[in-house]
């Protein structure tokens, strides 16, 4: 009996060892993702990027133009049937959100979250921006095995999650909760159809689910290092 108990204990211990060896850390998951989309060296060469996307919502042609510039500037403009309906601009410390019903300025934690998440290849800069990342564990997303990571801003005020494909390392989903005058709003983005553009892989299809309804965006083109100016990101 003693030998049997010893054998069982060894099996349990071995199982725990294998599990520990097969489960990556949060840093290893992000490192695999960075390698999967092109590698740190290639990503660090990108100083600015413009992404053009299009969609159709209830028969309305939607055009989304997103600009990013190191170290922490971004803007996004949404046009519907040729008319600007929403604009976001972040200058590094302040975010101005404008729409057909007026505009509002975000500062503090809310602006910090948006700035951190809209930085070029944000995973490269989480450490310097004080973002704390933890591995939640494995999770199925659309039938795929993924690792789920939870991120928290330096002040602990906001969190969001990402899911990375276990096999490929690519990001397949993000879940973001933003605070608004109407309360908290949760948006889920599902990324697919990754394609190589200038040595870096980008998802060409983004499915978004939000309180406003579902929307599928197609990435039409990605332009890098075109010399965007700081004046393009004046928050006003």
Query: Per-residue pLDDT tens for 27-62?
Result: 999 999 999 999 999 999 999 999 999 998 888 899
For residue 73, give the CATH number of its domain: 2.50.20.10
pTM for the model? 0.84
Q: Is residue 9, in this structure, part of any structural domain at all?
A: no
Number of domains in the chain: 1
Residue 101 has a pLDDT of 77
Q: Does residue 38 contact residue 197 with C-beta atoms inside 8 Å?
A: no
204/10: higher pLDDT: 204
Residue 170 has a pLDDT of 98
Q: Is residue 95, in this structure, part of any structural domain at all?
A: yes
3 class by beta-carbon count within 10 Å (0-12 exposed, 13-18 middle, 19+ buried): exposed
């Amino acid at each position: 009996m003693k030998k049997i108990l010893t054998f069982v204990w060894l099996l349990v211990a071995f199982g725990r060892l294998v599990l520990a060896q097969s489960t990556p850390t949060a840093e290893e998951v992000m490192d695999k993702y960075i390698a999967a989309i092109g590698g740190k060296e290639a990503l660090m060469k990108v100083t600015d990027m413009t992404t053009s996307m299009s969609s159709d919502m209830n028969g309305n042609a939607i055009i989304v133009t997103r600009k990013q510039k190191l170290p922490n500037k971004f803007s996004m403009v949404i046009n519907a049937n040729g008319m600007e309906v929403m604009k976001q601009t972040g200058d590094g410390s302040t975010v101005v959100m404008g729409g057909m019903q007026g505009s509002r300025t975000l500062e503090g934690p809310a602006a910090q979250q948006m700035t951190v998440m809209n930085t070029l290849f944000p995973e490269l800069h989480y450490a310097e921006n004080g973002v704390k990342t933890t591995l939640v564990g494995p999770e199925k997303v659309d039938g795929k095995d993924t690792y789920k990571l939870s991120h928290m801003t330096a002040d602990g005020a906001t969190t969001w999650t990402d899911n990375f494909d276990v096999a490929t390392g690519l990001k397949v989903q993000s879940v973001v909760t933003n605070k608004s005058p109407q309360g908290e709003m949760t948006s889920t983005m599902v990324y697919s159809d990754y394609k190589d553009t200038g040595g870096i892989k980008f998802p060409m299809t983004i499915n978004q689910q939000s309180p406003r309804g579902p929307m599928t965006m197609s990435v039409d083109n990605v332009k890098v290092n075109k010399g965007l100016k700081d004046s393009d990101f004046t928050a006003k």
